Amino acid sequence: MSEQITGEVSIFLDALGQGVFGAGGLGLLGLVGPSYEDDLFPEGEMYREFTNQGVTVLYEGVPDSPLAKAVFISINDSDSSGTYPTPNSLIDGLELTSTDRKTVTSFFGDPVISGGAFDVFAAGNKFLHFEYDGEAPKTITAMSEVPGL
């Protein structure tokens, strides 16, 4: 697999480390906006949920300029945020609605970390965390860093 991951997930990866109104934040808004709701927490975290798009962004930092740390993308989930409307457009060459864990691992290569129901793959200097429901991808999280690494 090449270092460059193409498809809509690249917009989510590009947003990591950028602010709400930076190029990455505006790219997110263009892809999954315009409707969203913000949840602010006293610890300096903000969760921006794009309404009915299956996408939630975690921002951390000072209130005036928080930076994106993670983007949660629901592929096969029935929670209140919905599912991503075009999952097969997320990663070029990978049909997420009809793939399994083995195919994901074959596509990306060896995971950086693997556990019972998840795999984490390097995506350049960022990461993609796959959570599975059985063998099917349930959620993909684009992350700027992996806890514990």
CA distance 74 to 55: 6
pTM: 0.93
Identify the bridge partners of residue 37 per DSSP, sorted by sequence position.
49
Question: What average pLDDT does the segment 89-109 reach?
Answer: 95
pLDDT confidence bin for 61, thresholds 50/70/90: confident
Give the 3-state secondary structure of residue 62: coil
Q: What pLDDT score was predicted for residue 36? A: 93
How are beta strands 36-40 and 136-143 bridged, if at all? unpaired
Of 16, 59, 18, 13, the closest CA to residue 36 belongs to 59
pLDDT confidence bin for 147, thresholds 50/70/90: confident
Give the 3-state secondary structure of residue 12: helix
